[in-house]
Amino acid sequence: MRILHVIYTHGVGGAEKYLKHLLPGLKAYGINCDLIVVCTKKTESTFAAYCNEVNSLGIRTTLVVAEKYGILTTAKKVNNYLKEEKINILHTHLFHADLMAAFLKTFFNKNIRIISTKHGYQEKVLQQYDPVNYKKPNDLYYHITKYILRKIDINIAVSKAMADLYFNLGISNTHFPYIHHGITFPEFDKPAHGENFRNANPQLITVGRIEIIKGHHFLIDAMPAILEVFPQTKLLVLGDGTEKANCEKRVKEANLEKNVEFMGFVEQPYQYINNSDIVIQPSFFESFGLVFLEGLALKTPIIAFDVPAGNEILENDKTALLVNKGDSKALAEKIIYLLQNPAVAKQIAANEYEKYKNEFTTEAMIKKMAAWYKSLSL
């Protein structure tokens, strides 16, 4: 079986890391994959390096700069690749790749079989989405997504939360199957959690794009209460995004510059997570939440808002501490509680690692995806 994967991307995030981990491992199961990465001119150098890295893993990878062609011309280029390489299965990732594939099937190749992995949805919808009291959107994005789904043969999601969302919003009349991400890390020497707590110099970390949906402002608002008890606490903020300037302003207005450090985008945050005492993720919604796996695998206790899809990966009071969404006061209280109780933190870390080993390794993900591919009538 040979499959062409296409991702139309604006930055290196969870979907890009997912492909880098998944595609090389599928070879052992007789599934050979090529990859086309479509990016913007602004990110060309970043993705040239990414493509070189994936190529070095044995995956034939091609970079396409979108501005040079436009989405229809990009669809034609992808179709030419399919014909030249005699590949009849196209697997797309992210919205613009899905749209490109829909155009490809409409205008160039009606017989192509298209698979789509649902990594996310429009963020302005996710910011307001409630899995119980949801409201169907009625905007252009929604109707384009429904058009795309009519052209795609098979859909799969990265979490139950994402599968539920497409069903609940009325985009799909069936629940998609889902397979969780998996990851593998280099070995690190792990600081003994609890030692840093007793030194009264805790290090907290949050990792991800700095956008409204990620809830950084709730964590910043929690910091003064934490500093009353642990005045030397340091918060590392890894990531960039449209809300970074607002968050920096919020930090300055609260006189937190000495305690909150914005690190920018860090491609491999593992050492930072490994050396931190707690991972904090105050997101409104996570399509999956790769940072949760990073915390699990690196035995760093996690505190997060109790939202999809985090709450299908994390178990409150066992592999994490979960807090009601948007409650900065409760978030501060949980952080202080964990810093004051190193034995609890140590037990959570041990539980996390067991869950990671049993459910979320790269090998587990590859095995599940290979079995799923082979179950399809392609």
pLDDT in tens, 99-114: 999 999 999 999 999 9
The whole-number average pLDDT for the span 336-346 is 94
Tell the CATH topology of 195-359: Rossmann fold (3.40.50)
pLDDT at 11 > cutoff 80: no
Least confident piece of the model among 4-8, 12-16, 61-65, 197-201: 197-201
Q: Is the pLDDT of residue 133 over 70?
A: no
**pLDDT for 111:** 92
**pLDDT at residue 195 above 50?**
no
Compute the average pLDDT of residues 319-325.
96
Taking the C-alpha atoms of residue 363 and residue 314, their distance in angstroms, rounded to an integer, is: 20
Residue position matching structure tokens 């992808």: 78
Looking at 1.20.1560.10, 3.40.50.300, 3.40.50.2000, 3.40.630.30, the CATH number of the domain 2-183+362-375 comes to 3.40.50.2000
Confidence category of residue 127, pLDDT binned at 50, 70, 90? low
How does DSSP classify residue 288? S
Tell me what the pLDDT averaged over the chain comes to: 89
pLDDT tops 90 at residue 46: no
Peptide bond into 309 cis (omega under 30): yes
- Find where tokens 């070189």 sit: 52
**Mean pLDDT lowest among 3-17, 21-35, 128-142, 178-192:** 128-142
Q: What is the mean pLDDT of residues 294-318?
A: 93
Confidence band, pLDDT 50/70/90 cuts, at residue 131: low
All CATH 3.40.50.2000 domain ranges of the chain, comma separated, are 2-183+362-375, 195-359
Percent of the chain with pLDDT over 70: 91
306 and 318 Cβ atoms separated by less than 8 Å: no
Ramachandran angles phi, psi of 160, nearest 5°: -60, -35
Q: Does position 180 have pLDDT exceeding 60, yes or no? A: yes
Query: Does pLDDT of 189 surpass 90?
Result: no
| pLDDT at residue 128 is higher than 80 | no
* Distance between CA atoms of residues 205 and 222, nearest Å: 13
Output the pLDDT for position 190.
Answer: 59
Please list the residues that pair with 64 across neighbouring strands.
Answer: 38
pLDDT at residue number 377: 72
Alpha carbons 107 and 74: distance in angstroms, whole number: 12
What mean pLDDT do residues 288-308 have?
92
pLDDT at res. 194: 44
Residue carrying the six token digits 């970074």: 244
pLDDT higher than 50, residue 222: yes
What average pLDDT score do residues 32-49 get?
91
The predicted pLDDT at position 325 comes to: 92
Residue with tokens 């940072």: 291
Give yes or no for residue 126 having a pLDDT over 90.
no
With a cut of 60, say whether residue 172 has pLDDT above it: yes
Query: Cα separation of 91 and 372, whole Å?
Result: 13
Query: What is the model's pLDDT at position 198?
Result: 41
CA separation, residue 9 to residues 15, 223, 225, 310, 330 (Å): 9, 34, 39, 23, 36
**Element (DSSP H or E) covering residue 105:** helix 95-107
- Identify the CA nearest to 19 among candidates 51, 43, 64, 65: 51
For residues 356 and 310, give the distance between their C-alpha atoms in angstroms, rounded to a whole number.
14
